[in-house]
């Protein structure tokens, strides 16, 4: 009798790499850390990095230099992997890394077409304390 060979289900899927020449860079800068996320034009996350992931610890994560290093890694990988040419930048927060991260993007050859500040603004606030009685 002839042996029936079953197909092994270990076929490899090809990884489909997107080409995203125009994307978005979301930058969250707090006093404790800086998070940089690269997304496509619909907002789907492709790459992300933070100052803590780059090896900075403690209070050094909130510095401008840490934000610059984290931004540099994301932009370099986005250029190599996805062919990033032009980006819209969305900045949230009031940390020290806001300006330095945007400056490094433009110095690395990415055309920053627009910068949006999406930091939440309080309106109304909390209820005031009751009046003190003498």
Q: In the predicted model, is pLDDT for residue 68 greater than 90?
A: yes
Average pLDDT of the residues of the chain = 88
Average pLDDT over residues 72-100: 91
Domains defined for the chain, CATH in brackets = 22-117 (3.30.420.80)
Torsion sign (Cα): 48, 51, 52, 54: positive
Q: Is 22 exposed, middle or buried (0-12, 13-18, 19+ CB in 10 A)?
A: middle
Digit-coded pLDDT (tens) for 12-58: 777 777 788 899 999 999 999 999 999 998 989 999 999 999 999 99
């Amino acid at each position: 009798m002839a042996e029936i060979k079953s197909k092994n289900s270990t076929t490899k899927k090809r990884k489909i790499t997107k080409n995203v020449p125009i994307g978005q860079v979301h930058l969250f800068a707090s006093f404790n850390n800086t998070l940089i996320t690269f997304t496509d034009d619909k907002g789907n996350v492709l790459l992300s990095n933070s100052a803590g992931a780059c090896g900075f610890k403690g209070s050094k994560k909130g510095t401008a230099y840490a934000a610059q290093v984290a931004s540099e890694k994301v932009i370099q990988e986005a250029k190599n992997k996805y062919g990033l040419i032009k980006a819209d930048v969305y900045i949230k927060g009031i940390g020290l890394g806001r300006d330095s991260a945007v400056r490094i993007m433009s110095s690395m050859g990415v055309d920053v077409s627009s910068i949006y500040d999406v930091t939440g603004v309080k309106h109304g606030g909390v209820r005031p304390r009751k009046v003190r009685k003498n």
